[in-house]
Amino acid sequence: MAEQERVLDVDNVRVTFDTPDGEVRAVRGVSMHVNPGESVAVVGESGSGKSQVMMAAMGLLASNGRVEGSVRYRGQELVGLPLKALNDIRGVKVTMIFQEPMTSLDPLFTIEDQLSEPLRVHGGLSKREASARVLELLELVQIPNAKARMSAYPHELSGGQRQRVMIAMALANDPDLLIADEPTTALDVTIQAEILQLLADLQARLGMSILFITHDLGIVEAFADRVYVMNKGLVEEEGPTERVFHAPQTEYTRMLLAAEPEGHKAPVGPDAPVLLRGENVQVTFGRPKGFLRPDTQLHAVRGINLTLRKGQTIGVVGESGSGKSTLGRALLQMLPSTGRVVYLDNDIEGLDRAAMRPYRKGLQMVFQDPYGSLSPRLTTGEIIAEGLQVHEPGLSRKERQRRVAEAMSDVGLDPSMRNRFPHEFSGGQRQRVAIARAVILRPQVIVLDEPTSALDRSVQKQVIELLRRLQVEHELSYVFISHDLAVVRALSDYLMVMKNGEVVEEGPVDAVFDHPTTDYTRTLMRAAFDLTSLLRPAARTGT
């Protein structure tokens, strides 16, 4: 296709950030293009520079960022374009939707206000005309009860609805190209499937091009005609999606494709000793109606029974808000709950901090966020040793050092790194630190709350293998909480599916995955494992 007909043409773009630690070259000479009506995906792991190419193209780099090279929209150069001229293109011809539907909309303005702005600024619409068009747009993106929703504020909408509002905003001025930067990463799988379906449907009806930036190969396969694979600021491989997925030509693409979690865990025998048992566990937040005070009660966990045996891994899945994390915390008595929790024949329900302390050694937890859950002011050695100081205060300094070194090599970290601070580690390494902090106490049970969700697939795979090895070596039992069904399937032998604080289905992992009995579980699985058939029903019947 001739070059001037391309919607977007990126030519040898380089992006550099000036940081206190020197220059960081985030993008090192990238060329790509988008043809009219095409779906193109840019895929890569975090730090690959995949978002920064488009940020640079749209003049949205952070203030310490610089761009060189050329980005042309329909032949018009965007790099170095004065702000006024650029503002005639962005939000009109080229629009964007972002990863965080929670924060991408201004919390202080109504949906109508925000959707009207680009219409009035670019299209010169009157207030009334804009209002009519906003309603039309909200109906287009299938917001239920659109008319009433116009006066809502972003926080009154769910994550999926907010992303629909963002899409409506992107479509407002009939764009040529829609750039979607990880638009579904923060959403549940079922919502993700709905949003992707909506985008595919809108593209078929309106004919714009879509450039999809993502780390999720499942989405790429289901959505894109063509794909660019990025790694370390360069394009590693490009080509039609079919070809790249079935005949990858570079080592890196092969590694990405192979990084889907795999493996299988054999169930434990029925005579394995019971370590942790929860009976009718309930957690309620908020307060009942009081004097001049409305009822704010939220029943997060409603009467759950759970039996964890030695060596077992119970996977707990569910969408956000289903109460799965709350259940994990309630089991470890980290928040007030009712019911009964028995650990090694001791009733630990409702114990206060001091009474709970002796049991904490055996009941450990690893959290989702490897950035937020490690103190930035302690060295990793200090972080890992902290629990020992509480639970085994008699240890000599030397012995403690030895145990830290042992725990670090246990999780695949070089013990010589013990004097480094958390910010010097990558996300995957930090999660290893968090795991070392738990295993150093030689616990029996570890509650893993989304431990792999913030990690790239290739790193995730390593962490899964680590957890599996530690389980065998130390005879650990896990409660594995995750929204990621592929990871849960690889690690667990028993599965609980939660919705609205209740367990809707449970059983041995294979039984539930192969023969789900509830619609809810079936929907979850289809959204997680079968995006392609959802988005390309025609392609599927064709093959």
Partner 1 sequence: MLAYALRRLLGAIPTIFIIVTAAFFMMRIAPGGPFDQERALEPTVMANLNEAFGLDRPLWEQYAMYLGNLLRGDMGPSFIYRDMRVHEILGQGLPVSMQLGMTALLLAFVIGTALGSIAALRQNTRADYGVIAVATFGITVPNFVVAPVLSLVFAVILSWLPAQGWGRWDQMILPVIALALPQVAVIARLIRGSMIEALRSDHVRTARAYGLPARMVVIKHALRAAVLPAISYLGPAAAALLTGSIVIEQVFNIPGIGRFFVNGALARDYTLVMGTVVIVAVFVVVFNLIVDLLYALLDPRVRYD
Footprint of partner 1 (CB under 8 A): 58-60, 62, 83, 86-92, 95-96, 98, 100, 103-108, 117-118, 121-122, 153, 155, 166, 169, 291-294
C-beta closer to partner 1: residue 212 or 494: 212
C-beta closer to partner 1: residue 41 or 105: 105
In the complex, minimum distance from the CB of residue 370 to partner 1, in angstroms, rounded to a whole number: 22
By CB atoms closer than 10 A (0-12, 13-18, 19+), residue 475 is exposed
Quick check: 164 and 154 in contact, CB under 8 A?
no
Neighbours of 334 (CB within 10 A): 15
Q: DSSP string of 427-493?
A: HHHHHHHHHHHHHTT--SEEEEESTTTTS-HHHHHHHHHHHHHHHHHHT-EEEEE-S-HHHHHHH-S
Q: Compute CA distances 260 → 242, 255, 427, whole Å.
A: 18, 10, 18
Taking the C-alpha atoms of residue 109 and residue 275, their distance in angstroms, rounded to an integer, is 51
Residue of 275, 257, 161 lying closest to 461 (CA atoms): 257
C-beta closer to partner 1: residue 89 or 433: 89
C-beta closer to partner 1: residue 155 or 377: 155
Sheet containing 177-181: order of strands: 94-97, 177-181, 209-214, 39-43, 226-231, 234-240
In the complex, minimum distance from the CB of residue 93 to partner 1, in angstroms, rounded to a whole number: 9
Taking the C-alpha atoms of residue 27 and residue 108, their distance in angstroms, rounded to an integer, is 35
Amino acid at 498: M
Q: Compute CA distances 100 → 56, 105, 200, 498, whole Å.
A: 19, 9, 20, 24
C-beta closer to partner 1: residue 14 or 90: 90
Identify the DSSP state of 267: P
Give SS3 for 58.
coil
Quick check: 169 and 192 in contact, CB under 8 A?
no
Angle at 192 between CA 186 and CA 194, to 5 degrees: 145
What are the tokens at 451? 């431990």
In the complex, minimum distance from the CB of residue 30 to partner 1, in angstroms, rounded to a whole number: 20
Give SS3 for 155.
helix
In the complex, minimum distance from the CB of residue 90 to partner 1, in angstroms, rounded to a whole number: 5
Q: DSSP string of 77-98?
A: E-TT--HHHHTTTBTTTEEEE-
C-beta closer to partner 1: residue 207 or 294: 294
In the complex, minimum distance from the CB of residue 97 to partner 1, in angstroms, rounded to a whole number: 9
C-beta closer to partner 1: residue 97 or 229: 97
In the complex, minimum distance from the CB of residue 369 to partner 1, in angstroms, rounded to a whole number: 18
C-beta closer to partner 1: residue 83 or 354: 83
C-beta closer to partner 1: residue 84 or 397: 84
The widest CA-to-CA distance across the chain, in whole angstroms, is 76
In the complex, minimum distance from the CB of residue 199 to partner 1, in angstroms, rounded to a whole number: 17
Taking the C-alpha atoms of residue 501 and residue 341, their distance in angstroms, rounded to an integer, is 17
Taking the C-alpha atoms of residue 482 and residue 490, their distance in angstroms, rounded to an integer, is 12
C-beta closer to partner 1: residue 100 or 279: 100
C-beta closer to partner 1: residue 34 or 512: 34
In the complex, minimum distance from the CB of residue 517 to partner 1, in angstroms, rounded to a whole number: 40
Taking the C-alpha atoms of residue 45 and residue 303, their distance in angstroms, rounded to an integer, is 40
In the complex, minimum distance from the CB of residue 62 to partner 1, in angstroms, rounded to a whole number: 8
Q: Compute CA distances 379 → 371, 388, 427, 441, whole Å.
A: 14, 15, 16, 18
Residue of 281, 378, 296 lying closest to 330 (CA atoms): 281
In the complex, minimum distance from the CB of residue 289 to partner 1, in angstroms, rounded to a whole number: 11
Taking the C-alpha atoms of residue 49 and residue 72, their distance in angstroms, rounded to an integer, is 19
Neighbours of 289 (CB within 10 A): 10
C-beta closer to partner 1: residue 87 or 401: 87
C-beta closer to partner 1: residue 122 or 299: 122
Taking the C-alpha atoms of residue 214 and residue 352, their distance in angstroms, rounded to an integer, is 45
In the complex, minimum distance from the CB of residue 155 to partner 1, in angstroms, rounded to a whole number: 5
In the complex, minimum distance from the CB of residue 201 to partner 1, in angstroms, rounded to a whole number: 23
In the complex, minimum distance from the CB of residue 65 to partner 1, in angstroms, rounded to a whole number: 13
